[in-house]
Structure 1
């Protein structure tokens, strides 16, 4: 409980919370100078905000030698430790593990059910936002905007690029909402995530072919995909 209070106190500052969101979306190390410039604040203030985020284990830091002599600078990045704030306490991660393990006990049939359900939930996101609207009435750019917004809402922090002459969408996800489970069972969870993403895209593009390019669980900085329209 003490740690929960510390986290809520640290994030109660709007600038500090914005800095944490910025580092989360960026998904790469930042320096005091980076934060000072992006938020138009003094470097000492930026350093204080970053230090407080590190104190509650939301960020971690390491030194970076410049090779020019003098004092080494520090780089700050997201901690691997997840933070869950719920009142009263709920353990949905444990529930997810139990459900996943139960399905795996059913063998191939359980696996097929898991993937088809993931696909169904991905596809259902379109109806939640647009009801019975016909996706054919949307331009490719409008569809991509919806995908971007939807992926952001569920914590994936996406980046989309449409290459028109190739009729291909390239996109990367800098955060995985299923990361904890994926660490324990990467093959199953990453495949499930792929079906979920395919469901989202198939709601908008009927004949899309989705292919994974990079995977965080294999040491890549992001999970990235290409989708041929």
Structure 2
């Protein structure tokens, strides 16, 4: 209960809540000065908010030395360990772990079933919650499709951002949703992500190829994906 009170108290302040949202969307972390400038508040006030969030274990920090020299400062990042609140108590993470382990024990057949259901979920999620992507009498522009994708992925907990490169669309996804669940193969969580995101992509962009590349350097659990054949 003490942990619950700390968390709710830390996020009760609107400014602090928005600071948490901001830091959570910056994979490389945020400095006090950056938060101060972003929210137009005094550095000491920004430091206080960040400290409160760290005390509630919502953020973590490490010592940061600027390449330009000077005194070291603190770099704040999203905490690695997730926090779950449920009233009354429920443990869906345990259920997910048991289900995944059961499928994982079946080997390739279980993996294929897991990826197939993830793909179908991605398509059905967009169809159910974002029907404008398929029911519009006028096709959506690429820009609107990108906005829709970022919104749909964001509502599932991903933080997605597009970066156009050459004739392809490259987007990065931050925040691995399943990294606490044990898999027999380290590549399975990434393949699961790809299947889920491919379902969302197919529902919005219609049968475009999605390729996952290596994690973005210095950005833990952040992957880049290439979306090919966009006209």
What TM-score results when the alignment is normalised by the length of structure 2? 0.88
Task: Please list the CA deviations of residues 160-196 of structure 1 after superposition, one character each: whole Å capped at 9, or x if unmatched.
Answer: 1345x61x21100121222222677532222111111
Q: 1:156 and 2:158 equivalent?
A: yes
Instruction: Note if contact 1:182-1:190 (Cα within 8 Å) is conserved in structure 2.
Output: no
Q: 1:203 and 2:208 equivalent?
A: no
Alignment length, in residue pairs?
226
Which residue matches 2:145? 143
Measured in 1, the distance between the counterparts of 2:9 and 2:184 equals 32
How much does 1:74 deviate? 1.7
Measured in 2, the distance between the counterparts of 1:66 and 1:205 equals 42
Measured in 2, the distance between the counterparts of 1:73 and 1:183 equals 37
Unaligned runs of 5+ residues in structure 1 are none
Unaligned runs of 5+ residues in structure 2 are none
Which residue matches 1:114? 114
Instruction: Note if contact 2:210-2:228 (Cα within 8 Å) is conserved in structure 1.
Output: yes
Q: Which aligned runs of 4 or more in structure 1 are off by greater than 6 angstroms? A: none
Measured in 1, the distance between the counterparts of 2:108 and 2:54 equals 44
Instruction: Note if contact 1:136-1:204 (Cα within 8 Å) is conserved in structure 2.
Output: no
How much does 1:47 deviate? 0.9
Which residue matches 1:227? 227
Match of 2:21, SS state, is helix
When residues 204 and 156 of structure 1 are mapped into structure 2, their CA distance, relative to the original with a 3 A threshold, is: same
Measured in 2, the distance between the counterparts of 1:225 and 1:67 equals 30
**Structure with the higher helix share, 1 or 2:** 1
When residues 225 and 119 of structure 1 are mapped into structure 2, their CA distance, relative to the original with a 3 A threshold, is: same
| Pairing 1:123-134 to 2, within 5 Å after superposition | 123-128=123-128, 129-130=130-131, 133=135
